[in-house]
Chain A
């Protein structure tokens, strides 16, 4: 069965520090992978997506993610976190072309000043 695992429920980092949010997926074929960010009470904003090609993808707000097929991972990274990055981050997988998502449980990021 398809699934997405985000092992870290909460992460706290200091402003300016680097960040890595983990995401592992289980999917039979080549997945479409996404990272979304959700601020409290808000909808989802797409940070980046991977469909095929270069396994290192760049997104908005200085985020990037690397697709590693051998590890079934799609970890999100940012070299220097800003206080405004505090939010909930969701990794998701979708079957190709349908955009029917399976979401991970989310990682809540807290940024210390």
Chain B
């Protein structure tokens, strides 16, 4: 149990386009999901907290208009990188927290975004 599925695993996009990343909890309901970003050879930094049915909470320094988060159901949260630029190239990873099933420590497999 406690599987978090993240898609796509890799994506390459042109500068100025938008990319959507999906994070799904497959066998439990996630009232909260977290989105992290990891630059090469660095640690994971929390970007935002996604709450089902409400607006996401963004960490300081994260542009909410650039990183759109939607958590429309208890099993799906999406992160859309809008007007992507090369500096947005990074590894994005989600985790599910605050779950009714108690599974709060499972991460998705991550998405490698490359903006060219």
Contact = CB atoms under 8 A, between A and B. Distances in A.
B112 A41 contact: yes
Interface string B83-95: 0000000000101
Given A42-B109, A49-B105, A103 B98 contact: no
A49 B112 CA distance: 27
B98 A42 contact: no
Interface residues of B, number: 23
A101 B112 contact: no
B43 A46 contact: no
B105 A43 contact: no
Contacts, number: 57
A105 interface: yes
A98 B95 contact: no
Interface residues of A, number: 20
Interface in B27-54: 32, 34, 36, 42-46, 49
Contact of B46 (A41, A46, A49, A100): A100
Contacts of A106: 42-43
B21 to A, nearest CB: 13
B107 interface: yes
Contact of A43 (B34, B49, B96, B107): B107
A99 B108 CA distance: 14
A105 B106 contact: no
Contacts of A46: 105-107
A105 B105 contact: no
B8 interface: no
A36 B36 CA distance: 15
